Chains A and B, each alone.
Chain A
Amino acid sequence: MSEHATTMEAAGLKPGFADPVFEAQTTFRTLLNALAYAGRPGMLSTRLDPPHPLGPASAAVALTLFDFETPVWLDAAAAAGGVPDYLRFHTGAPLVAEEGRARFALIADAMQMPPLDRFAIGEDRYPDRSATLIVQVPSLAAGPAVTWRGPGIDGARAVSIAGLPEGFWTQWADNHALYPLGVDIIFTAGQALIGLPRGIEAEG
């Protein structure tokens, strides 16, 4: 295994999961809980060292969910450097240039993220055909408090995600208004992540 990793590093590639079956499983369970209990932070136990600017949680989510069936869109920050090769090699996912064609979007620079309405929102008969955005932020706890309500939350929960662009929550209100259509978001910071499914109403 370490020999394998060294060969890849020599080729300029960072290693993926050391134990793909079990690391993908624990990552998925953290994700399942994050989208079920919206707004509650989940901590990953995986130890990835992905290429800059990809964070370890974003990378773990990518290695757990991406494959040849999922077109992926990368923002300008993620598309620079070693990230595209890393994802192509470890997941085989096709990288696409248009936001609207992507099943997943990986956003490394949240401040510059495109408006949510550029991404696929699904169809009336197939609302599952919508994009999931993986948005990397500096902190999941140090931002302005926003009150979340909806499925998965017993009453209300205050969530303080830092580093989101001006007007993000207005865009989110528009996205939520499309329910049952709309995009879903996974916020990541370091080893932690928080799920924001489309059914959640957020109030600033």
Chain B
Amino acid sequence: MSAARPAWDEAYNFAYLDEQTKRMIRRALLKALAVPGYQVPFGGREMPLAYGWGTGGMQVTASVIGPSDTLKVIDQGADDTTNAVSIRRFFQRVTGVNTTEATEQADIIQTRHRIPEVPLREGQILVYQVPQPEPLRKLEPRETETRKMHGFGEYGLMHVRLYEDIARFGHIATTYSYPVMVNGRYLMSPTPIPKFDNPKMRNNPAIQLFGAGREKRIYAIPPYTRVESLDFEDHPFEVQRWPHACALCGSRESYLDEVVLDDSGGRMFVCSDTHYCATRRAAGHSGAMAEGSVARALAPSAGKQEDSHERA
């Protein structure tokens, strides 16, 4: 068993959490997989990071990860933003595992608010950091009531909310945290991923696990599971499209971030998935601003540090 054990900071148990906590989280994860989309309460522990910075996702990752895994951590699609870097360093220190930025090479991907552009494969585990696991919370503040609504499958309120969007704006205006039905039974928050990523949840060959640290809930979507974004027959679900291509790699398929360049309205659109964008550029694709000095000064790593103050 101890063949290739990595070196980690042995002041801590492997993966930081004590074994009893891991067992409790592991039991919750198995029940979460058995009832896709249902929020399993668990005894969330304090982590050496503030709530809202991924403590739920970290506890899930810590309970799942083993010495031979390769870990990737992304924040809004990027491998090099504050949250991703600090969580990656944390796991390097407490597990000693290999880390990667390449989606294809990762066994476990912990993510905040994006699903990678490269399709996932069987055996990979995508761990989402969840700020608010309850999709109905803004409509019904009482946990006792939302529990009942899930218990009885009573989701009319969410349809009314989407209908109000249509009545007011002419279309469903929700662009992220767009609610989904899992396996035809539970209404689930996909976490604040853009609705652009919602279709990737459906029938995904990978295992999707969700951890909410402050709210102490774990939920899951097994591979090959029905995940439907709520909609109406006459207002079907649609994902965002941009008139632009990525300014760096020229992709028209990926999710784009808008980066303001100056005070006079200059802006560029770049892939939010930094690994996807870098891979395309390495393969010779290039966008309108790829060779310009502006683009170099504002490579995705430099342009995206600022959004960290608005995390949930």
Contact = CB atoms under 8 A, between A and B. Distances in A.
A36 interface: yes
Nearest to A70: B27
Contacts of A26: 1, 66
A127 B35 contact: yes
Interface stretch (A5-13, A81-89, A147-155, A165-173): A147-155
Interface stretch (B159-167, B220-228, B242-250): B220-228
Interface residues of A, number: 44
Contacts of A58: none
B30 A35 contact: yes
Contacts of A19: 1-2
A35 B66 contact: no
B212 interface: no
B24 to A, nearest CB: 7
A151 B224 contact: yes
Interface string B17-60: 00110111011111111111010110000000000000000000
Contact of B19 (A24, A36, A154, A197): A24
A204 interface: no
Interface residues of B, number: 50
A21 B40 contact: no
A20 B207 contact: no
A23 interface: yes
Interface stretch (A61-69, A71-79, A105-113): A61-69
A22 B34 contact: no
Contact of B31 (A28, A128, A152, A179): A128
Nearest to A65: B27
A35 B34 contact: yes
Interface string B205-233: 10100000000000011111110000000
A129 to B, nearest CB: 9
Given A36-B207, A70-B27, A151-B183, A128 B122 contact: no
A179 B30 contact: no
B128 interface: no
A32 interface: yes
A135 interface: no
Instruction: Point out which of A24, A130, A152, A179 has the most chain B C-beta atoms below 10 A from its C-beta.
Output: A152
Interface in B138-190: 147-148, 150-152, 183, 185-186
Contacts, number: 125
B19 A20 contact: yes
Contact of B23 (A64, A126, A179, A199): A64
Contacts of A67: 20, 23-24
B29 A24 contact: no
A22 B66 contact: yes
A124 interface: yes
A24 B22 contact: yes
A36 B223 contact: yes
A87 B125 CA distance: 31
B152 A124 contact: yes
A97 to B, nearest CB: 22
Contacts of B20: 67
Contact of B32 (A25, A128, A198): A128
Nearest to A132: B30
Contacts of B296: none
Contacts of A102: none
Contact of B183 (A45, A64, A199): A199
What 8 pairs between A and B have smallest CB-CB spacing?
A124-B151, A197-B34, A128-B31, A152-B222, A151-B225, A125-B147, A125-B151, A154-B224
17 contacts: A18-B1, A19-B2, A22-B5, A23-B1, A24-B19, A26-B66, A28-B22, A32-B29, A32-B33, A37-B223, A124-B148, A128-B32, A152-B33, A152-B224, A180-B185, A198-B34, A199-B36
